[in-house]
Structure 1
Amino acid sequence: MKTNDKVDAFMMGLTEKEEAIISRLANSALDLSRDIREDVKWNALCYFKGDCAFVGIMPYKKYISVIFDRGVELDDTDNVLEGKGHTMRHIKIRCLEDLKEKNIGSYIAQSYELKEID
């Protein structure tokens, strides 16, 4: 994959803890297909299938938010999705252990499958 200066700058601005979590989240998205594009939009690290973002990753002071714009359509059997908007949902990640405990990879994969290639 080509390097992206915006992504590099985003990653350079992270704490060590944030970088460890976000790198694993990024790999969960990038491992789904060779055609995934990575970019920074809306102050978040975003992963695209075609022209549609299927997951956004945004660090906050006390957690990292993993954002799904069609989150209401995801199967939330683990009951970890948060939010009350019409379509968007997110999952808060506070430590590396949350990635496994909240089964985050399955939500990223579900979101990827929802997206049509434009």
Structure 2
Amino acid sequence: MNSKMQAYIKKQRSPQKEIIEKLRDIILKTYPDIKEEFKMGVPWYEGKYYLVGLKDHVNIGFSIEGLSEEEKGLFEGTGKTMKHIKVFSLEEINEEDIVKLLKVVKKE
């Protein structure tokens, strides 16, 4: 993890900090060789996913390029290329569901 990533995670409040750490772990466990970058002030993963800590939750963003309308419906937001899901607590993270969404985007 690079220093920008460490600083970003460290400055988050609880529970956003722990949520970001958990979601990051899920992404890296699902795709151990994925390229982790720090772009636009937040963690990005090969332009397919991002994590952002907000006031009362964390968004995990997903690229929707190439997805069917049904697949796009799995996500929130009005973006044309990226949509997200909101996570308000560690308890609501279902790793199996997150992995399924990660794989929908990577077409596995």
Assess if the C-alpha contact under 8 Å between 1:68 and 1:90 holds in 2. Answer: yes
Aligned partner (choices 32, 43, 67) of residue 45 of structure 1: 43
Aligned partner (choices 51, 62, 71) of residue 56 of structure 2: 62
Question: 1:15 deviation in Å?
Answer: 1.6
Question: 1:26 deviation in Å?
Answer: 0.5
Deviant stretches of 4+, over 6 Å: none
Assess if the C-alpha contact under 8 Å between 2:16 and 2:56 holds in 1. Answer: no
Question: 1:102 deviation in Å?
Answer: 9.2
Unaligned runs of 5+ in 1: none
Amino acid at match of 1:87: T
Deviation track 1:8-56 (CA, whole Å, cap 9, x = no partner) reads 11111112311211111001110123321222211221122xxxx2110
**Alignment of structure 1 residues 11-26 onto 2, 5 Å:** 11-26=9-24
Amino acid at match of 2:99: G
Assess if the C-alpha contact under 8 Å between 2:17 and 2:53 holds in 1. Answer: no
Unaligned runs of 5+ in 2: none
Cα distance between partner residues in 1 of 2:66 and 2:76? 10
**Alignment of structure 1 residues 1-118 onto 2, 5 Å:** 3-48=1-46, 53-70=47-64, 73=67, 76=71, 80-100=74-94, 103-111=97-105, 113-114=106-107
Amino acid at match of 1:25: L
Question: 1:72 deviation in Å?
Answer: 7.2
Assess if the C-alpha contact under 8 Å between 2:75 and 2:85 holds in 1. Answer: yes
Pairwise CA RMSD: 2.6
Matched positions, count? 106
Question: 1:76 deviation in Å?
Answer: 4.3
